[in-house]
Amino acid sequence: MLTVPRGQGTTSVIVPCLRGWRAARRCLVPLLRHTDASTQLVLVTNTRSGTLAAYLAGIRDAEPARVQVVVVRDLKRVRDAWRCGLREARREFVALLGPTTIVTDGWHDQLTALANADPTIGMVAPMSNVAPPLQAADGAPAAENVDAFAARWRAARLGRWLTSETLGGPCLLLKRGILEAISAGSALRSADLRSDRLSARIRQAGFQLAIANDLYVHRFQRSSPSTPSTGLAGFVRPCRVSLTMIVRNEEANLPACLTSAAGLFDEIVIVDTGSTDRTIEIARSFGARVFEFPWVDDFAAARNAALARATGDYAFWLDADDRIESPHRERLRTLFDGLRSKDAAFVIRCACDADPSGGGATVVDHVRLFPLREDVRWTYRVHEQILPALRQAKIHVDWTDAVIRHVGYNDPELRQSKLQRDDAILRLELAEHPDDPFVLFNLGQISLESGDPITAVGYLQRSLVGSAPGDSITCKLHALMARAYQQAGDLDSALAACDVGLATLPDDAELLFRKGVAHRLRGEPERAGLCWRRILTLQRPERFASVDQGIFGHVTQQNLAMLCEEQGDRAAAALHWSAVLAERPDDARARQALGRLGQPLVHAGEWPS
């Protein structure tokens, strides 16, 4: 057996980026999130221009100390990209990732620990959904639920590993010294990096191949539409799902809502809190069971009245101004049909229609589907919550790829009326619970939206005192404080609020956006640009938040476009304005800017002149 020094350093991760910027982003966002800053990332691509090149350049510029982009023209095969990346590898370990790999929490530490567990181990690999038989993971999830699945997989198999005759799948890790030893001083050919041939050469050199049985890494498919429901005659869901709603004077909204939900639920339970229009009649025309409940300034009490009357195994909630649109109907149908036990709740994101000011849709993470149990009930008079009860009952929460559309914030007068109502109810609750962080958080939001940043800061600071770093509202608290300080003209405090939040969550897009705005207002365009370009390398994470989705796209692209114009970089400005138009084809401001710059629309795969 060849003798190879025991690895002590970290890893060079080689990632082929050959399938467009969207595929690269799906791979690189979890890789950046789950890999520490000491790891070298070698991104191998075949293009110097276009959206993919710009995306990779943004990642490199954000972390130049560890990210290297290698461009090789006419590169088509993954193993050719690996061979080119190996020339730049500088660490003790080398990880070869596929272009459609989604790594999970702890992937690097688990694989290097296994590689170092025995000096005879030459190469290691995780379990996966696409892999040789010994590495194949049963019950692999859709790409959107990978982290939760991987955590459960690890907990059930912690510490297990096994040896194999061959390794494959989306991720291989080996000591760089072994690569050098088996190549006998000459560069490895691309053919040598085929997983079966590489496995054979390592075994021939006297080393073992090991599988981390407690680690799951995912490979996404290039196209993964939601699987439709079987539609088989006589199919009966193992778990019944009850739609629960509370309404009052919703005759204008309710028909569209219930039409969008038709055929999805096993029953509809509607609690009416005092309608004087045709709301009850409309609800019954859709087959709903309708119950009247007196309004007591408490949304949680009304929602709990609906839960008390539901007979299903699971409850799902909607507001009258919510809509379930295609393809999300089929995603929900598939989710409901697949429920087997009452041991999980599910997040369905809510996209609130954008206002006319040019922002994006605010997307909120809501637990919409949860087991119907006596110990799972709503709390808080307004902005009512089910999550505290789920956590108390130790019910696991999973994310889904379904989205509900919310149309209720388009009317400014209606929005102002709701703010006034919520403010009055929150003050009642504050009198009952003077130091509740969530009540103070919501009062701070209302004060800020009402144009009173000083009062907002007071509420938000009090909320922060009572909040733990891991609470779902904590990061939003820092973002709201930064916005309040900015409105009050205190940019130093705005930046400080961002920095405190980013110390806990360095990739929080809203905090990076607010920090960029503060730097811009302070006359620091370079720092502002660094913050905004960093955002474009991120993807919305699976954690509870309420964020303008435009921050991840056209809103930040627009800010960068204006910044580039001010700095005289017309070509880069045209690229960013074109990205705005790609997301919002009717954006008049972007079209006017391109005309003003004398630049054509830049399509994906092109570079402005």
Maximal CA-CA distance, the chain: 85
Banded pLDDT at 220 (limits 50, 70, 90): confident
CATH of 241-406, one of 3.40.50.300, 3.90.550.10, 3.40.50.720, 3.20.20.30: 3.90.550.10
Residue 227: what pLDDT? 32
Three-state SS string across 185-237, please? CCCCCHHHHCHHHHHHHHHHCCCEEEEEEEEECEECCCCCCCCCCCCCCCCCC
Question: Can you say whether residue 20 is alpha, beta or left, with left for phi > 0 and alpha for psi between -120 and 50 degrees?
Answer: left
In 262-377, alpha helices (H): 279-285, 299-309, 328-337
Q: What are the pLDDT digits (tens) for 81-110?
A: 999 999 999 899 999 999 999 999 999 999
Between 339-353, 430-444, 514-528, the lowest mean confidence (pLDDT) is in: 339-353
How far, in Å, CA of 415 to CA of 398, rounded? 31
- Owner of token pair 């467009």: 20
Banded pLDDT at 229 (limits 50, 70, 90): very low
Assess if CATH 3.20.20.140 describes domain 11-219. no
Q: What are the pLDDT digits (tens) for 139-148?
A: 777 656 788 8
**In this model, does residue 559 exceed pLDDT 80?**
yes
Q: What are the pLDDT digits (tens) for 570-595?
A: 999 999 999 999 999 999 999 999 98
- Give the list of residues 6+ apart from residue 395 with CB closer than 8 angstroms, or none: 343, 344, 345, 370, 371, 376
DSSP conformation letters of 438-463: HHHHHHHHHHHHTT-HHHHHHHHHHH
**In this model, does residue 226 exceed pLDDT 70?**
no
Q: Tokens for 296?
A: 């007591």
Q: What is the DSSP letter of 284?
A: H
Q: What are the pLDDT digits (tens) for 251-302?
A: 999 999 999 999 899 999 999 999 999 999 999 988 889 999 999 999 999 9
- The residues that bridge with 14 in the sheet, in sequence order, are 42, 96
How far, in Å, CA of 166 to CA of 183, rounded? 19
Residue 179: what pLDDT? 85
Domain range summary for the chain, segments of one domain joined by +: 11-219, 241-406, 412-549, 553-609
User: Phi/psi at 514 (nearest 5 deg)?
Assistant: -65, -35
**In this model, does residue 609 exceed pLDDT 50?**
no
**In this model, does residue 45 exceed pLDDT 70?**
yes
C-alpha distances in Å from residue 83, one per residue of 37, 121, 151, 168, 187? 24, 22, 32, 17, 9
Q: What is the DSSP letter of 506?
A: T
Between 430-439, 465-474, 556-565, the lowest mean confidence (pLDDT) is in: 465-474
Residue 182: what pLDDT? 86
Banded pLDDT at 228 (limits 50, 70, 90): very low
**In this model, does residue 461 exceed pLDDT 90?**
yes
Between 224-238, 287-301, 525-539, 555-569, the lowest mean confidence (pLDDT) is in: 224-238
Banded pLDDT at 176 (limits 50, 70, 90): confident
- The residues that bridge with 245 in the sheet, in sequence order, are 270
How far, in Å, CA of 373 to CA of 241, rounded? 13
Q: What are the pLDDT digits (tens) for 378-415?
A: 999 999 999 999 999 999 999 999 999 999 766 777 77
Instruction: Confirm whether 11-219 and 241-406 share one CATH topology.
Output: yes
CB 161 within 8 Å of CB 212:
yes
CATH superfamily of domain region 412-549: Tetratricopeptide repeat domain (1.25.40.10)
Banded pLDDT at 562 (limits 50, 70, 90): very high
Percentage of the chain exceeding pLDDT 90: 71
Which of these, 94, 311, 135, 326, lies nearest to 218 by C-alpha position? Answer: 135
Q: How confident is the model over 73-80, as a mean pLDDT?
A: 90
Strands 241-247, 267-272: pairing kind: parallel
Residue 181: what pLDDT? 84
User: Phi/psi at 244 (nearest 5 deg)?
Assistant: -120, 135
C-alpha neighbours within 13 Å on the C-beta side of residue 5:
9
